[in-house]
């Protein structure tokens, strides 16, 4: 095995998907704690005397206790290089999450033990299924009132249509949650709570028939626990790694991120089960092998002003093949020129570290002076070979629209820079940029709040958003723009493509019926 092959085999790139409030950002912190990347976990609902959550770098995220932007975090664990992407849970930011899931090789699906599969979980699962991403399920909040374990497994199978196979069996729930039994290792893991979950939870390993365990649980509860373990081991399917890698089966773990119960077990299973970077099927039918010596990658995320000490923009790059070296020159087909990658960085919350080398499977940041765009392909030119044709990153038609009004005309320069950079990030979609009061479109209302907060906080441009009475849009061909009705509005996107805004879904259907020769596009032209 060559050095390149060894290094790529050590890489794991994964994302965490969940419905809002399932505990995703808390789990992210605890994975960092058990991975040795941090020594003290900050609670997501941190008070002033606690550290804020490491993955939430934006002030708005730290204030609200939610994730509104994908965070990329890299850490070493037991000989592996783990690339963790903490995605937004809120459905208003599903486009950012979709792009992120194109940059990983596996996902952790986080469920609330009291609720099971929730609406946003279903949407995110479907994206993973489309990409054949292997999914490890972690049923969280077992320290709170929870559904029965069999009910939770049945819920996953019936709602998502995937075989759910437990690797462990929970020992109680709520205040009685003490640990779990490893169904394959035949070992009982008992945990003790730590104050605030800031440190690793003390763990005792024993057998299921241990007299102390029986005394701790009580005879009746212990008898039921042993019976459930026996049923789970005999009646449920055995875990099959091949089916897992094909996306047909999800291994299930139980735990509590806030108390640290089960987090290390999850991390160790992630290391063993999640695949190393896999071959990518390109749009032209070719297959890109990660071990191909030529460096290739694509930009799946843009972020401006990650740290107010660094007023710059960062392009997040998923390396898809070969080896990256600082200072190397790569071709960017959209720009029709080569660029030198002189300032590559790895991120850890707001901290950034210059990196010299990286390999397929890694996520790195490239300091971008307005050079890169979402979806840009970067590749090492070794001859006359064509750039890899990756599947285009998704861009969805917005559902909510508003006019942006600058309330301080002395801030016009900052205003123009802010709306342009935030649109490049994919925070909003920008229309009629040439007008004095451009329009923005978003998937959900919360994106408006984030946009307003960031343009005022990061660019110092006070604005007012005036909602517009449109609820859907479609891209159209320029030749069809004149067919818009009096209830519709024609605008142009950042590239000058015409977009037709409709007041309602009913109006959209009426337009289609009245103009059967007009093609309405859900995505902008590539």
pLDDT band at 47 (very low <50, low <70, confident <90, very high): very low
Confidence band, pLDDT 50/70/90 cuts, at residue 124:
confident
Assess whether pLDDT exceeds 50 at residue 137: yes
Whether 124 and 137 have beta carbons less than 8 Å apart is answered as no
Q: What is the pLDDT of residues 379-395, one digit of tens each?
A: 998 878 889 999 888 77
Region 2-28: mean pLDDT is: 92
Whole-number pLDDT of residue 127 = 84
pLDDT at 69: 46
Tell whether the model's pLDDT for residue 196 goes beyond 70: no
The tokens describing 233, both together, are 């081991």
Give residue 94's pLDDT band: very low, low, confident or very high (50, 70, 90). low
Q: Mean pLDDT over residues 90-118, rounded? A: 85
For 508, other C-beta atoms within 10 Å of its C-beta total: 19
Mean pLDDT over residues 122-136, rounded?
A: 89
How does the average pLDDT of the chain come out, rounded?
86
Q: Are strands 163-166 and 249-254 parallel, antiparallel or unpaired?
A: parallel
Share of the chain above pLDDT 90, in %: 52
pLDDT at site 44? 36
Smallest CA-to-CA distance from 105 within 14, 184, 228, 41 is with 14
| pLDDT at residue 154 greater than cutoff 80 | yes
Asked whether 472 and 485 are in contact (CB, 8 A), the reply is no
* Averaged pLDDT, 152-161: 97
Return the structure tokens found at 43: 């609670």
Secondary structure of residue 370 in the 3-state scheme: coil
> Which domains are assigned to the chain?
3-276 (3.40.50.300), 281-379 (2.40.30.10), 400-514 (3.30.70.3280)
Q: What is the pTM of this model?
A: 0.82
Helix (H, G, I), strand (E, B), or coil: what is residue 219? helix
Q: How confident is the model at residue 92 (pLDDT cuts 50, 70, 90)?
A: low
**Residue 147's pLDDT band (boundaries 50, 70, 90)?**
very high
Supply the pLDDT for residue 20: 82
Name the strand (E) or helix (H) holding 412: helix 412-425
What confidence score (pLDDT) does residue 199 get? Answer: 78
Candidates 358, 373, 146; CA nearest to 261 is: 146
pLDDT tens digits, one per residue of 426-442? 778 899 877 888 999 88
In this structure, what token pair is assigned to residue 11?
A: 């890489």
pLDDT greater than 80 at residue 198? no
Q: Which residue has the higher pLDDT, 355 or 202?
A: 355
Is the model's pLDDT at 312 over the cut of 80?
no
Torsional sign, CA 236, 242, 246, 252: positive
Q: Tokens standing for 150?
A: 């069999």
- The pLDDT confidence band at residue 349, using thresholds 50, 70 and 90, is low
Beta-bridge partners for 423:
none
The residue among 342 and 71 whose pLDDT is bigger is: 342
The residues near 23 (Cβ < 8 Å, ≥ 6 apart) are: 110, 112, 140, 141, 257, 258
| Distance, CA of 383 to CA of 337 (rounded, Å) | 14
Render pLDDT for 178-187 as a digit per residue (tens, 0 to 9): 899 999 999 9
CB within 8 A of 216, min separation 6: which ones?
178, 190
Interacting residues of 239 by C-beta distance below 8 A, sequence separation 6+? 165, 167, 184, 249, 251
Burial readout 189-226 (b: 16 or more C-beta within 10 A, e: otherwise) = bbbebeeebbebbeeeeeebeeeebbebbeeeebeebb
CA angle 163, 35, 90 (to 5 degrees): 55
pLDDT at 460: 93
Number of continuous H segments (helices) and E segments (strands) in the chain: 13, 30
pLDDT for 434 equals: 79
Query: Average pLDDT, stretch 473-493?
Result: 86
Bridge partners, 400 (sequence order) = 442
pLDDT tens per residue across span 54-90 = 444 455 444 544 444 456 788 899 999 999 987 765 5
Confidence band for 411, pLDDT divided at 50, 70 and 90: very high
Question: Residue 93 pLDDT more than 70?
Answer: no
Percent of the chain topping pLDDT 70: 89
pLDDT for res 393: 80
Beta strand pairing call for 400-406 and 439-442: antiparallel
What's the maximum distance between 2 C-alpha atoms anywhere in the chain? 81
Q: DSSP 3-state assignment of 28?
A: helix
The least confident of 138-147, 149-158, 443-452 is 443-452
- Whether the CB-CB separation of 376 and 368 falls below 8 Å is answered with no
Positive or negative, the Cα torsion across 429, 432, 435, 438?
A: negative
Q: For residue 192, which of 216, 156, 218, 166 has the smallest C-alpha distance?
A: 216
- The DSSP symbol for 239 reads P
Q: Please, are residues 233 and 222 in contact by the beta-carbon 8 Å criterion? A: no
472 or 289, greater pLDDT: 289
* Residue 396 in this model has a pLDDT that exceeds 80: no
């Amino acid at each position: 095995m060559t050095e390149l092959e060894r290094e790529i085999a050590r890489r794991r790139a994964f994302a965490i998907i969940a419905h809002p409030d399932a505990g995703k950002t808390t789990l992210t912190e605890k994975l960092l704690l058990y991975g040795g990347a941090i020594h003290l976990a900050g609670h997501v609902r941190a008070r002033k005397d606690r550290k804020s959550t490491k993955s939430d770098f934006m002030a708005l995220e730290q204030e609200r206790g939610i994730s509104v932007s994908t965070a990329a975090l890299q850490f070493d664990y037991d000989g592996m290089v783990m690339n963790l992407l903490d995605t937004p849970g809120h459905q208003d930011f599903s486009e950012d999450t979709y792009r992120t899931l194109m940059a990983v090789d596996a996902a952790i699906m986080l469920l609330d033990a009291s609720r099971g599969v929730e609406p946003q979980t279903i949407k995110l699962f479907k994206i993973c299924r489309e990409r054949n991403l292997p999914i490890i399920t972690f049923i969280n909040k077992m320290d709170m009132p929870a559904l029965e374990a069999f009910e939770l497994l049945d819920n996953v199978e019936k709602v998502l249509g995937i075989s759910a196979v437990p690797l462990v069996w929970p020992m109680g729930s709520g205040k009685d949650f003490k640990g779990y039994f490893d169904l394959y290792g035949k070992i009982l893991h008992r945990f003790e709570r730590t104050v605030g979950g800031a440190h690793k939870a003390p763990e005792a390993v024993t057998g299921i028939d241990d007299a102390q365990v029986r005394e701790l649980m009580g005879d009746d509860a212990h008898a039921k626990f042993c019976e459930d373990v026996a049923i789970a081991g005999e009646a449920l399917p055995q875990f099959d790694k091949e089916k897992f890698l094909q996306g047909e089966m999800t291994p299930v773990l139980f735990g509590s991120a806030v108390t640290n119960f089960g987090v290390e077990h999850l991390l160790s299973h992630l290391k063993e089960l999640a695949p190393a970077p896999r071959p990518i099927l390109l749009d032209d039918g070719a297959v890109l092998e990660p071990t191909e010596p030529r460096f290739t990658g694509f930009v799946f995320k843009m972020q401006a002003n990650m740290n107010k000490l660094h007023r710059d923009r960062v392009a997040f790059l998923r390396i898809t093949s070969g080896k990256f070296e600082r200072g190397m020159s790569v071709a960017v087909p959209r720009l029709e020129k080569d660029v030198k990658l002189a300032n590559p960085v790895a991120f850890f919350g707001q901290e950034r570290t210059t990196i010299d080398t990286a390999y397929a499977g890694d996520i790195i940041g490239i300091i971008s002076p307005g050079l890169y765009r979402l979806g840009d392909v970067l590749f090492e030119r070794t001859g006359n070979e064509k750039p890899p044709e990756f599947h285009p990153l998704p861009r969805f038609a917005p559902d909510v629209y508003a006019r942006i009004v600058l309330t301080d005309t002395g801030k016009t320069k900052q205003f123009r820079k802010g709306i342009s950079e935030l649109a490049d990030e994919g925070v909003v979609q920008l229309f009629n940029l040439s007008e004095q009061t451009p329009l923005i479109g978003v998937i959900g209302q919360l994106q408006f709040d984030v946009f307003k907060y960031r343009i005022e906080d990061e660019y110092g441009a006070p604005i007012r958003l005036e909602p517009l009475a449109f609820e859907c849009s479609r891209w159209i061909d320029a030749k069809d723009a004149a067919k818009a009705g009096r209830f519709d509005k024609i605008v142009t996107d950042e590239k000058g493509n015409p977009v037709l805004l409709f007041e309602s879904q009913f109006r959209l259907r009426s337009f289609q019926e009245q103009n059967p020769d007009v093609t309405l596009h859900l995505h902008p032209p590539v």
